[in-house]
Amino acid sequence: MLDATTKEIKERTSGGVINPAKTCQPIGAMYAALGIHGCLPHSHGSQGCCSFHRMHLTRHFRDPIMASTSSFTEGASVFGGGANLKTAIKTIFQVYNPDLIAVHTTCLTETIGDDIPNLIKTAEIPEGKKVIHTNTPSYVGSHVTGFSNMTRSMVNYFSEATTSLKKEQVNIIPGFVNPGDMREIKRIAKLMKAPFIMFPDTSGVVDSPMTGEFQMFPKGGTTQAELTDAGNSKLTIALGRFASSDAAEQLDKKCKVPTATLKTPIGIKATDDLVMALRQAFVTEVPYELEEERGQLVDIMTDTHFHFHGKKVAIFGDPDIVTGMTELVMSLGMKPVHILTGTPGGAPGSTVGSFGEDIKELVGMAGIDANIKAAGDLFTLHQWIKNEPVDLLIGNTYGKFIARAEDIPFVRVGFPVLDRSVHSYMPIVGYRGAMRLVEMISGALLDRQDRDAADEDFELVM
Ligand code: SF4
């Protein structure tokens, strides 16, 4: 299937990408917008873009994803899409009646240069309703950038510092993670007795229960009042620099809410960092329930370490998730030797820092000399693997082609996962999420050991 991938790596001068390891900005913006209660994401562009974005999200979450489109035709493409957007806003409020519409752009509307803020100002918006926007040109960045941009727009449009003293509450920006992860982060914050506002929060929206009745706007999502009140919090915890730090910095600039930027809490250390940040901010004790979970995780890691020790791993996906997974597999004694994201990797000193430098430092601590690349593609990853084979591949569904071609055990983590279900309900963050990851990784390795074992080596107890 990937027979054309050559072992010999030649520098590509065309700038072309073969099998991308990312998808387009509006998908992230659409997902973030779904994390506001009563919000209808709106794609300002042609129907094809919107259909693709909705389809991708629907396939990952296995829940119908609601979004509208400006439905560009040739005329709008030439003369601009102002009329389409204004008509769309009027019709959407008449027909679907959301609390607010969150507009994001597409490649076409960005190329035309439609002035979205001014178009929104002159649109017919019913009393008490709201329209927000963000720019998501998909020829730069990735879906993670789109998520980050829409989350920053939530701050721009809503957050206000309205109290003279900051409130005893923390904002938690969870990053581009599944609703199961958001629920787990909220559970940890509740156990730490930390009053919090999470935004965006897609739990209860893209994982809503089957009730027998269609709900256009499910119960979940951050309310507009909470987004406004985020400006009064005494701290923002941004989880994952690439998806969350931009909004947190904007909140600091606009409302003087200081920021603690942490890694996505994947694995024991990153979860410890989240727990300790909450403990420090609210001077609370870590409850026994969390201590017990941590202890169980350490016990599991100790019991199973011999399955993992020295195994070589390739990891790809979104930068915040890849960073967390790299740290987790290293804590299990594995060797991440190929590490790649499709998202541009930032630069030292920038808001998001440098993916390459961070990973280099992380693996350098264990003396591992890894291939590391940002804005890379799966062709490169495959070539690396051909040159230095691995025992395990970790990444989103698109990795299955490499796993099949090279006959490597494969663990699906990240976005999108299109060929398995239930994953979006189950966390990979926190101590419990780490337990699940250990189970997934050891299951994949031991299944392979069983498959390849000769009859005389086929073990009952492993
Ligand atoms: S045209 Fe741009 S916004 Fe539309 S689907 Fe393609 S990359 Fe995404």
The residue whose C-alpha atom lies closest to atom 3 belonging to ligand 1 is 106
Band (12; pLDDT cuts 50, 70, 90): confident
| 25-158 and 167-288 share one fold | yes
Average pLDDT over residues 434-461: 97
Average pLDDT over residues 303-316: 96
pLDDT tens by residue, 103-117:
999 999 999 999 999
DSSP annotation string for 16-60:
--SSBS---HHHHHHHHHTTBTTEEEEEES-HHHHHHHHHHHHHH
Fold of 167-288: Rossmann fold (3.40.50)
> In whole angstroms, what is the distance from residue 181 CA to residue 274 CA?
14
Distance 142 CA to ligand 1 centre (A): 11
Cβ neighbours of 107 (radius 10 Å)? 17
Note the pTM of the prediction, 2 decimals.
0.97
Average pLDDT over residues 438-462: 96
Closest listed residue to residue 102, CA positions, set 129, 80, 75: 129
Q: Supply 1's token pair.
A: 């299937």
Is the Cβ atom of 29 under 6 angstroms away from ligand 1?
A: no
Average pLDDT over residues 8-19: 89
pLDDT of residue 170: 98
pLDDT of residue 269: 98
When the pLDDT of each residue in the chain is averaged and rounded to a whole number, the result is: 96
Average pLDDT over residues 239-253: 98
CATH architecture of 305-457: 3-Layer(aba) Sandwich (3.40)
> In whole angstroms, what is the distance from residue 184 CA to residue 197 CA?
14
Q: Which residue has the tokens 């920038």?
A: 350
DSSP one-letter code for 200: S
Is the Cβ atom of 24 under 6 angstroms away from ligand 1?
A: yes
pLDDT of residue 14: 84
pLDDT tens by residue, 146-188:
999 999 999 999 999 999 999 999 999 999 999 999 999 999 9
Closest listed residue to residue 436, CA positions, set 446, 420, 423, 448: 423
Domain residue ranges of the chain, discontinuous segments joined by +: 25-158, 167-288, 305-457
Contact between 191 and 164 under an 8 Å Cβ cutoff? The reply is no
Closest listed residue to residue 169, CA positions, set 189, 187, 195: 195
Atom of ligand 1 nearest to the CA of 136: 3
The residue whose C-alpha atom lies closest to atom 8 belonging to ligand 1 is 24
Determine the residue of 55, 107, 109 to mutate for testing ligand 1's pocket, defined as the one with the most ligand atoms within 8 A of the Cβ atom. 107
pLDDT tens by residue, 384-416:
999 999 999 999 999 999 999 999 999 999 999
CA angle 405, 426, 422 (to 5 degrees): 60
CATH architecture of 25-158: 3-Layer(aba) Sandwich (3.40)
> In whole angstroms, what is the distance from residue 100 CA to residue 119 CA?
16
